[in-house]
Amino acid sequence: MGIDSLLRSFVNDCWLARKIAGVIATTGITPNSLSLFSLFSAAIAGLLFAIAGLKGLHLLLLFAGILVAVNAFLDTFDGVLAREAGIASKKGDFLDHVIDRYADMFILCGIIFGGYVSWEIGLIAIIGILLTSYMGTQAQAVGLGRIYGGMVGRADRLLLIIAATILTWLYPHHALGFSFLGWCMLILAVLSNLTALQRFFYAWRRL
């Protein structure tokens, strides 16, 4: 079980997470608003990644990493808020998944455009991440239920990106041809595609 599955299980069962969601609900903020805020934070993070790499403004990496963390936090609590407020719906779930994919692309494309990794490796990472999500939702579409398991889920990816961003900010030089962000993208290119295959075979066996 990866961090993604563990985090979802923890948040769903954690009284503190529900308490925080209850406080957020009293402010009038809706789950869809949190989802949109998470998309905005990912878009700005992607822009900062690109500018930091192209202009050599490494300080911007710190803010990019913070915004990726904000995206992860908001993405975690929009579902909890919906359940606590009693307004969870298929429509909201659909919006959440669409926004997550756009958020992923904003962040990854920002790293690629910033020159932290070659476009070839970046493209393979994007394909793996999109297929990982697709396998999970396609399993749900054929009646197996949503699959979150595997080597690298969204929470795992974001945690790796946040850690690599901070390390690249602290040490922007290359090691064995890659910066920390470059190595992160290479790892994601491999593990995301393996996770997609993992989910495929898991669903195939159950079918």
Tens digit of pLDDT for each residue in 42-62? 999 999 999 999 998 999 999
Cβ atoms within 10 Å of 195's Cβ, excluding its own: 28
Count of structural domains, the chain:
1
Q: Spell out a b/e string for 28-48, using b for 16 or more CB atoms within 10 Å of the CB, else e.
A: ebbbbebbebbbbbbbbbbbb
Its pTM stands at 0.90
Domain residues for 183? Answer: 3-206
By CB atoms closer than 10 A (0-12, 13-18, 19+), residue 88 is: middle
Position 95: which residue type? L
In this predicted structure, what is the pLDDT of residue 195? 96
pLDDT higher than 90, residue 25:
no
Length of the chain: 207
In this predicted structure, what is the pLDDT of residue 10? 58
Which of 13-27, 74-88, 149-163 has the weakest average pLDDT? 13-27
pLDDT higher than 80, residue 15:
no
What CATH number does the domain containing 70 carry? 1.20.120.1760
- DSSP-derived 3-state class of residue 75: helix
Residue with tokens 């958020």: 103
CA–CA separation, 153 and 150 (whole Å): 7
In this predicted structure, what is the pLDDT of residue 106? 98
Percent of the chain with pLDDT over 70: 93
pLDDT higher than 60, residue 32:
yes
pLDDT higher than 90, residue 17:
no
Instruction: Please choose, from the candidates 70, 198, 46, the residue with its C-alpha nearest in 3D space to the C-alpha of residue 122.
Output: 46
Position 32: which residue type? N
Instruction: Please choose, from the candidates 163, 166, 139, 164, the residue with its C-alpha nearest in 3D space to the C-alpha of residue 150.
Output: 139
What confidence tens digit (pLDDT) does each residue in 57-92 have?
999 999 999 999 999 988 888 878 887 777 878 888
What confidence tens digit (pLDDT) does each residue in 133-153 have?
999 999 988 998 888 888 998
Instruction: Please choose, from the candidates 16, 171, 34, the residue with its C-alpha nearest in 3D space to the C-alpha of residue 92.
Output: 34
